[in-house]
Amino acid sequence: MEVIKLENVSKIYGTKVKVVALDNISFSIEEGEFTSIIGPSGSGKTTLLTLMGTLAKPTYGKIYVYGKDVTTLNDDELSKIRNSYIGFVFQSYNLIERLPAIENVELPLVARGLSKRERREKALDVLTRLGLGELAYKKPTELSGGQQQRVAIARALVQEPKLILADEPTANLDTKSGEVVLETFMRANKDFGTTVVIITHDPDVASLARKKIHIRDGKIEKIE
């Protein structure tokens, strides 16, 4: 089953001076795939992620999430799509420093109306399955960058998303920490069955994915 499908998608910024960020992009991502989108800085990778995540709409073309044309939806409908299907992991961890890891992981569940006990159980289960159980009650200031990013992955997974979109998730990390974070994504893909898409400029990161989409100057160079 196709999780995401793009058909002839272009994104153009500006009116008087137009900047073509993406030019006629088409590809699909199947359920359960681990995919990397690789390209140099300024190639359109992050713009592509925002479109795939329904955080913005294309100027031209269609985007489908589980068969639904999201380019026709309003903001409330797009919010429901994100809440139902998509988890995000960014380069900056975006953790709340005054809260321990487990409460950071619980945050997405508050809006779903779960009881405190249910939230705590689900958050601890995800942290434990990712090998982070011993860090549950440590605050972000007590964690390394790699540990904070892994907690951010747990926060995305606790929503049980069908798809995780990660934007340069290892860019701020040393090599060893980056490897552990990537192993966490691989575990999420294998053990949780989550479809994972990682945006990166690093060939070593991209090489771990089964599908690699190469992008340059807003166009797809090749898919392998």
Residues 64-86 pLDDT 10s:
999 999 999 999 999 989 988 99
Token readout for 163 is 């798809």
pTM, full prediction = 0.91
Contact 21, 44 (CB under 8 A): yes
Contact 163, 4 (CB under 8 A): yes
Phi/psi of residue 2, nearest 5 degrees? -80, 125
pLDDT score recorded for residue 40: 92
Q: pLDDT tens digits, residue range 106-119?
A: 998 887 888 999 99
CATH of span 2-223: 3.40.50.300
Each residue's pLDDT tens digit in the chain (224 positions)? 899 999 999 999 988 889 999 999 999 999 999 999 999 988 999 999 999 999 999 999 999 999 999 999 999 999 989 988 999 998 888 899 999 999 999 998 887 888 999 999 999 999 999 989 999 999 999 999 999 999 999 999 998 999 999 999 998 888 888 999 999 999 899 988 999 999 999 998 999 899 999 999 999 999 99
**Nearest 5 degrees, angle CA 171-CA 101-CA 87?**
55
Q: Any bridge partners for residue 5, and if so which?
A: 28, 64
Sorted by sequence, the CB contacts under 8 Å of residue 162 that are 6+ apart come out as 3, 31, 66, 84, 85, 86, 194, 195
Helix ranges (H only) for the chain are 45-52, 75-85, 101-110, 116-129, 145-157, 175-191, 203-206
Domain boundaries, the chain: 2-223
pLDDT score recorded for residue 195: 96
